[in-house]
Chain A
């Protein structure tokens, strides 16, 4: 009986202390982290569309049941393009992506905000050479193939699932923007 109480005491004290340490560190860092993430997103938006004077949120949508937004970039009264934040379901995480498109709904540039893919394999999606493969692609071209190509999206060797996840996320975003901004004029 005495032994049992000793064991319980030892565990409780260690776990509670550790819990308090973690909780207080989290409480201190969470607001700083949220602010940094917000700032990084704004910076990423600007970087994707440097010529836009104003990037305003145009609405919300839900790719893969996650919350995301889309934006309009304006210079004076002209629309210079649209940006949508989107997600792709990768190998070990949701990949958070920003997609910038031209007014004719062709991908201009993409940016990977965050992900938790395997270091060394899946994290190749951050590389410039992979992101460049999306530039100038229209909705129909956003498809992953394993052979060498410039017409569609060529998968990274060793990271097919991550490549496909990014492409799916981008395709959903382009589809959404096409519905919102081009559906009426062309149909």
Chain B
């Protein structure tokens, strides 16, 4: 792990271990908030920030966390960052908060954040942990944008709220059912790309 360059860590988060398409974690937000590109984007940004900060914090205090109570410790670090972000934004960035406030509190329960704290940040130094968090966050953001792009285009006929076609081609894509379709089909596409062009083995090729 130490020989990897930081760029590799970021690339790893975007493709090889993409939180949604490859590792299949945090599928709940991937379905719930991707009915529009704007929603997906805002959620992705919020996760990117919290994931990076949690990774750095866990890495800094990793020697102090007792291995037998590490999960509650991680959860508390995550909850602290989410609460602090939520409060600071509510007080100092009202306009942004009105758009993003709904998403921030949901992040506490995201599997991907806990998973990276356990698998990476607790075993690595601060700088690599920072880049791992950044990569995972970008990968998550990328996945949400791709999913929401197709769902909004097909379900509402618009992108980022701007109408592209006048009618709603496939209303089912906006509903949760369509979310599962979109995630499943895109996951299949990414597996196909991996097998065809990179000689991989399909889902969970990342090793977890």
Contact residues of A with B, CB < 8 Å?
Answer: 3, 6-7, 10-11, 13-15, 18, 21-22, 25-26, 28-29, 32-33, 36, 40, 116-121, 123, 157-158
* B interface residue count range (under 10 / 10 to 19 / 20 to 34 / 35 or more): 20 to 34
Task: Verify if B171 is at the interface (C-beta below 8 Å from A).
Answer: yes
Complex Cα spacing A14 to B63, Å: 12
Nearest CB of chain A from residue B95's CB, rounded to whole Å? 11
* Among B83-91, B114-122, B128-136, the stretch in contact with A: B83-91
B69 A7 Cβ-Cβ under 8 A:
yes
- Once the chains bind, are B91 and A120 in contact (CB under 8 Å)? no
- For B42, give the chain A residue with the smallest CB separation: A119
Q: Give residues of chain B (119-147) contacting chain A, Cβ–Cβ below 8 Å.
A: none
Contact of B103 among A6, A22, A29, A119 (CB under 8 A): A119
Q: Residue B73 at the A interface, CB < 8 A? A: yes
CB distance from B75 to the nearest CB of A (A): 10
Task: Indicate whether A11 sits within 8 Å of B72 (C-beta atoms), given known contacts A120-B39, A121-B35.
Answer: yes
The interface residues of chain A, by DSSP majority, are classed as helix
Docked-complex contact A14 and B33, CB < 8 angstroms:
no
Q: A29-B91, A120-B35, A120-B36 are in contact. Are A18 and B77 (CB under 8 A)?
A: yes
> Are B88 and A29 touching (Cβ within 8 A)?
yes
Q: Which residues of B contact A (CB under 8 A)?
A: 32-36, 39, 43, 61, 64-66, 68-69, 72-73, 76-77, 79-80, 83-84, 87-88, 90-92, 94, 102-103, 171, 174-175
CA of A3 to CA of B69, assembled, Å:
11
A7/B94 contact (C-beta < 8 A), A25-B87, A158-B175 known: no
A33 to B101, CA, bound (A): 13
Across the interface, do A18 and B80 meet the contact criterion of CB distance under 8 Å?
A: yes
> Could you jot down 29 A-B contacts, CB within 8 Å?
A3-B68, A7-B66, A7-B68, A7-B69, A10-B66, A10-B73, A11-B69, A11-B72, A11-B73, A14-B61, A14-B65, A14-B77, A22-B83, A25-B83, A25-B88, A26-B87, A29-B87, A29-B92, A32-B91, A40-B94, A119-B33, A119-B35, A119-B102, A119-B103, A120-B32, A120-B33, A120-B35, A120-B174, A158-B175
